[in-house]
Amino acid sequence: MKRMILVLFLLGIVATGFGALKVAIVAGDAIGDRGFTDMAYIGIQEAEKQFDIEYKVFECHVDPSKYFDSLRAAAMNYDLIFVDPGYFFDKELAEVSAMFLSKTFVYIDGASDLPNVVSVPFKQNEGAFLAGCLAALLTDKTELCKINSEKIVGFVGGFDMPVIRDYQVGYEHGVRYVDPEVKVIARYAGDHYDPALGKETAYSVSKEGADVIFQAAGPTGLGILEAAKDYGFFAIGVDTDQGYLQPGFIVSSMMKKVDVAVLDIVRMQVENKLEKGSLHVYGIANGGVGLAYNEFMMDTVPASVYIEIREIQEKIANGEIVVDSYLN
């Protein structure tokens, strides 16, 4: 009888514990960042509903002193480790992935050539192209109360780095595609975590005539969105759907759907289809990037503009439009 009880106990452990895929998200920021961490968290919560997984989010709060220890702790205790965003952890990932070659790491928002790292870059240039088209179409609608007659739009980045330059290049291409006569004023705040600086930078761009400003600046961008309300221009958010932050002033957001990528990667791992070292690119064609089409957009954007944007999106998806990229 004791032997039978022991067998059943061990079978129970196997069924309830060992069978679950253990997934970690090592976040450069923290839950509540209104950006990548929140999107990854949404994705892993959905994955938990669909699959037999256990997960933990390691929050680093943009503190580089936590990067190595958090990544190592995740690798010691979990099998699939999302590194979000990967470029925060380049040095640490090289070290830790070499220590845990049997584990699979997932580099979010970029690419790595490390052997046990799966790369998940996004075509932010494509989503930014749509943002540029939207800005150019709106700046011509002088009947809208926040639009002037100068045909100037703006772009404000955070850190001056290749991925943010890619946003700028895509945005400017989108503006030119709609109307080559529209001027783009581009500025960099020089920081991703200073909303006050973002607000100041956006104000200077608006004072030069920009009536629509696209921000790609992380938490610094929250100040840019606040400036839209305070100084009376339209803004386009980034990464997540930010329309609720300043309704009536944020006409849309260019979303990187990290949640979709996280769910996809977990599914592939569960189905034993995920290969270490593989590359999985997310763009408009596979729903990885795009504008937020919601009630905030419907309340501010004329129907004709909405229809034209959807038509342009389809042209990118089918390859009719190839968007310029800083990264090529």
The CATH number of the domain holding residue 32 is 3.40.50.2300
210 with 180, same domain: the answer is: yes
What is each CA distance from 291 to 29, 37, 85, 295, in whole angstroms? 23, 19, 21, 13
Residue 286: exposed, middle, or buried by beta-carbon count in 10 A (0-12, 13-18, 19+)?
A: middle
Residue among 26, 129, 134 nearest 84 (CA): 26
Q: Which residues pair with 55 in a beta bridge?
A: 23
CB 93 within 8 A of CB 105: yes
The count of structural domains within the chain is 2
Same domain, 229 and 308: yes
Cα 131 to Cα 290: distance, rounded to the nearest angstrom: 9
> Is 52 contained in some domain?
yes
If asked whether residues 159 and 130 sit together in one domain, one would say: yes
Predicted local distance difference test score (pLDDT) of residue 18: 58
Angle among Cα 312, 251, 61 to the nearest 5 degrees reads 105
Digit-coded pLDDT (tens) for 21-67: 999 999 999 999 888 899 999 999 999 999 999 999 999 999 999 99
CA-wise closest residue to 67 among 37, 95, 43, 39: 95
- Whole-prediction pTM: 0.90
In a domain, 267, yes or no: no
Question: For the purposes of burial, counting CB atoms within 10 Å of the CB of 61, is it exposed (0-12), middle (13-18) or buried (19 or more)?
Answer: exposed
How far is 309 from 52, CA to CA, in rounded Å? 39
**Considering 74, 104, 120, which residue would you say is the last residue of a domain?**
120
Same domain, 33 and 169: no
Q: Are residues 140 and 128 in the same domain?
A: yes
Q: What is d(CA 231, CA 220) in angstroms, rounded to the nearest whole number?
A: 17
The DSSP letter of residue 274 is P
Domain boundary at 120, 145, 177, which? Answer: 120
Residue 266 to residues 22, 55, 323: CA-CA distances in angstroms? 10, 11, 29
3-state secondary structure of 152: strand
Q: What is the residue range of 99's domain?
A: 2-120
Same domain, 186 and 311: yes
Please tell me whether residues 83 and 184 are part of one structural domain: no
Whether residues 106 and 169 share a domain: the answer is no
Q: Please say whether the beta carbons of 213 and 220 come within 8 A.
A: no
pLDDT of residue 3: 53
Query: Taking the CB of residue 227, how many other CB atoms lie within 10 A of it?
Result: 27
**Same domain flag for 57 and 143:** no
Residues 299 and 209 in one domain: yes
Is 245 within the bounds of a domain? yes
Which tens digit of pLDDT belongs to each residue from 120-159?
999 999 999 999 999 999 999 999 999 999 999 999 999 9
Instruction: Kindly tell me if the per-residue pLDDT of 108 is higher than 80.
Output: yes
Place of tokens 């946003």: 167
Residues 66, 202, single domain; the answer is: no
Confirm whether 312 is domain-assigned.
yes
Pairing mode of beta strands 212-216, 234-239:
parallel
Residue 54 included in any domain = yes
With residue 8 as reference, give the H or E element that holds it.
helix 2-13
pLDDT for the residue 33: 86
- Residues 97 and 184 reside in one and the same domain: no
Q: Is residue 223 part of a domain?
A: yes
Of the candidates 68, 72, 45, the residue with the CA atom closest to the CA atom of residue 56: 45
Give the pLDDT of residue 71: 98
Question: From the CA atom positions of the chain, what is the Rg in Å?
Answer: 22
269 found inside a domain: no
For residues 254 and 238, what is the distance between their CA atoms, to the nearest angstrom? Answer: 5
In a domain, 156, yes or no: yes
Average pLDDT of the chain is 93
Domain boundary among 120, 141, 171: 120
